[in-house]
Chain A
Amino acid sequence: DAGITQSPRHKVTETGTPVTLRCHQTENHRYMYWYRQDPGHGLRLIHYSYGVKDTDKGEVSDGYSVSRSKTEDFLLTLESATSSQTSVYFCAIGRTDTQYFGPGTRLTVL
């Protein structure tokens, strides 16, 4: 497996609270991605980064922001969590045609 870790692995929070998920890689890869996985939808891209401080929106970016201050770290923030953001979040590195995924974070918003 590629050197990708995610933290926390599980989190339960309440509606309206801010939440930050962290992705850390040891592969020095330029591209990093955040996906959410929901039953019946597969994996949907939230945001991606193509370098330090360089990010762009994906398919389902509303309600999410990201930051990348170092090559190895990519943060996903839910400014004010909603129940519709209950999901499993995966970070990935690699090119668009070959990606390697982290272990995932299961987020529950009550």
Chain B
Amino acid sequence: GQQVMQIPQYQHVQEGEDFTTYCNSSTTLSNIQWYKQRPGGHPVFLIQLVKSGEVKKQKRLTFQFGEAKKNSSLHITATQTTDVGTYFCAGTYNNNDMRFGAGTRLTVKP
């Protein structure tokens, strides 16, 4: 079935280190979105990727969509304590179904 796998489930880093989370689908996606959820909060939309091989940047965050439109990554350069939270990807399929990944929980040690 349609499913988006996300790894790792947890990541603990020292402040200033980089962080990457990966999402993978067995079938081609129409587009993929990324959300951030702070502890105790609600998911907040970060960005949408639509084109094959697309790369978008938001300050220290870099988002990539694979050439085959089956995988995506979010990379944070030089993490800060404000980056703490859970990062989710959500893939939309051609039938308009959307599936969220299980999320990667990021903790940052000052």
Contact = CB atoms under 8 A, between A and B. Distances in A.
Interface stretch (B37-45, B63-71, B77-85): B37-45
Contacts of A40: 9, 102
B73 interface: no
A100 B48 CA distance: 13
Most buried by B among A41, A43, A94: A43
Given A40-B9, A42-B6, A42-B88, A99 B45 contact: yes
B48 A96 contact: no
Interface in A68-110: 90, 94, 96-104
Nearest to B43: A101
Interface of A: 40-45, 59, 90, 94, 96-104
Contacts, number: 44
Contacts of B99: 59
Contacts of A41: 102
Contacts of B103: 42
Interface of B is mostly: strand
B33 interface: yes
A45 B102 contact: no
9 contacts: A40-B102, A41-B102, A42-B6, A42-B101, A42-B103, A96-B92, A96-B97, A96-B98, A100-B45
B43 A98 contact: no
Contact of B88 (A43, A96, A97, A104): A43
Given A97-B33, A98-B48, A103-B41, 6 more contacts: A43-B90, A96-B96, A97-B31, A97-B92, A98-B33, A103-B42
B47 to A, nearest CB: 10
B19 interface: no
A101 B43 CA distance: 6
B42 A101 contact: yes
